[in-house]
Amino acid sequence: MSGAPSAAIRLLVSDVDGTLLTPDKTLTNDAIRAVAALGDAGVHFALTSARPPQGLEMLIEPLGVNSPLGALNGALIVDTQMRVLEERTIDDHLTAPIIDLLHDHQLSVWVYQGSQWFVLDENGPHIEHESRGCGCRPTKLSDFRSVEGGITKVVGVSDDASHGAAASTAMGTTFGSQVSATRSQTYFLDVTHPDANKGRVVRFLAELYGVASEEIATIGDMHNDVSMFAESGLSIAMGNADDAVKAAASKVSRSNDDEGFAYAVERFVLNL
């Protein structure tokens, strides 16, 4: 791992689940104070997540967020009023075969059209957990044919890691660079437009605020966070991340059940 960046950090971009929030989806007082300390130091703070925009809305007020939000792994970038600033959708002709591939590998499928969430089975795996976390409910459909256009994200869901791994490999073999397929949780395989990723969110924010890559810090815990690590001078993996994610970062913090976000802000970003 590399040492601390020579430039002062002017922008921190953070993942949400597994990073900013505890395992039970709590935003702690220490995390709130850490974000306030960033503001006091003149450091911009932004969020990016696999969640839909409405799943980030509850964090805006307690954290005083005023930066654009990178939702659905960067497929949607919205302002704090939920107005769309940038949207990247999967090519329409790919949607049906993506869904078929995920079903063939025994994964449940979720589809996002814009910020709307659609499922075939309201009682499917992780729907209740996701609904509680993001404060939203999916719409049940009899099939996905009515929403095969303008798709921002398709998610394959399975608690069987072998099914997810096989689907991920098949996605690369079948579609190559036409899509981005990455893991936002151990049980999720997220499929988006190839340019819809958290690295793109960081580039969007860098241009907005006029900051260089060496003035940017990023923090996350999953494989979908690695693309933003590559866009920042300081990249921080959470202690609960797996070894591959840690290896991609320049620093490793504590876990998200031990105030790892607040620790990283104090120790690595603000150097207090």
Domain boundaries, the chain: 11-87+197-269, 92-192
* Tens-place pLDDT, residues 165-187: 999 999 999 999 999 999 888 89
Q: Give the pLDDT score at 2.
A: 38
Nearest to 190 by CA among 2, 31, 5, 17: 17
The answer to whether 51 and 72 have CB atoms below 8 angstroms apart is yes
To the nearest whole percent, how much of the chain has pLDDT over 90? 92
The pLDDT of residue 4 is above 70 = no
Kindly compute the dihedral angle of the four CA atoms of residues 58, 60, 63, 69, in this order, to the nearest 10 degrees.
Answer: 120
Can you read off the two tokens belonging to residue 7? Answer: 């430039």
Flag whether the pTM goes above 0.75. Answer: yes
Rounded Cα gap, residues 42 and 112, in angstroms: 35
The structure tokens 């509850």 sit at 58
* Tens-place pLDDT, residues 67-104: 999 999 999 999 999 999 999 999 999 999 999 999 99
Q: Give the pLDDT score at 134.
A: 86
Q: Which residues contact residue 29 at a Cβ distance below 8 angstroms, ignoring those fewer than 6 apart? A: none
* Tens-place pLDDT, residues 242-258: 999 999 999 999 999 99
Can you read off the two tokens belonging to residue 197? Answer: 């990723």
Equal fold, 11-87+197-269 vs 92-192 = no
- The answer as to CATH 1.10.246.90 being correct for domain 92-192 is no
The pLDDT of residue 208 is above 70 = yes
Over the chain, what is the mean pLDDT? Answer: 95
The pLDDT of residue 5 is above 60 = no
For Cα atoms 246, 250, 253, give the angle at the middle one, nearest 5 degrees.
60
Rounded Cα gap, residues 233 and 60, in angstroms: 26
The pLDDT of residue 3 is above 70 = no
The answer to whether 31 and 15 have CB atoms below 8 angstroms apart is no
The pLDDT of residue 57 is above 70 = yes
- The answer as to CATH 3.40.50.1000 being correct for domain 11-87+197-269 is yes
The answer to whether 98 and 105 have CB atoms below 8 angstroms apart is no
* Tens-place pLDDT, residues 109-163: 999 999 999 999 999 999 998 998 888 999 999 999 989 899 999 999 999 999 9
Q: Decide which of 32 and 130 is more confident.
A: 32
Give mean pLDDT, residues 226-244: 97
Q: Give the pLDDT score at 148.
A: 80
